[in-house]
Amino acid sequence: MLDMARKIAAKTKGVSRRKYNADENLRLTLAHLIQTIGEAARRVSPEFRDAYPQIPWGAIVGMRHKVVHDYMNVDINMVWQTATQEIGPLIAALEKLTPREDREA
């Protein structure tokens, strides 16, 4: 999850909404990365989720469902908002769960 979130952050760094709207490859890439994060979150055990309630597990899995099941009508506004407003806090939360030596990878 952390690796994919970092990829989203890197791909959106310095990117304007106008560029995002005009770049189909970027839109598809971000949707795929968000889907992958959601799939990983879906596979996390209930015990682990319960131990770390600061991670919005339900919202992450719910976003995955939207991207996967609404693939013909993915809301590009929702993908942009997730990529630019929600990924940063997710990275910070996930880094707190990651051993220090793995954070730099």
65 among known catalytic residues = no
64 among known catalytic residues = yes
Per-residue pLDDT of the chain (105 residues; tens, 9 = 90+): 999 999 999 999 999 999 999 999 999 999 999 999 999 999 999 999 999 999 999 999 988 877 776 666 788 898 999 999 999 999 999 999 987 655 455
Q: What angle do CA 83, 33, 74 make, to 5 degrees?
A: 70
8-39 in b/e form (b: 16+ CB < 10 A) is beebbeeeeeeebeeeeebbebbbebbbbbbb
Q: Rounded to whole angstroms, how far apart are CA atoms 36 and 40?
A: 6
3-state DSSP assignment of residue 104: coil
Q: What pLDDT sits at residue 75?
A: 85
Catalytic option among 18, 64, 65, 103: 64
Catalytic option among 17, 42, 65, 69: 69
Residues of the chain by 3-state class (helix, strand, coil), percent to 5 = 80, 0, 20
- Domain region containing 81: 2-103
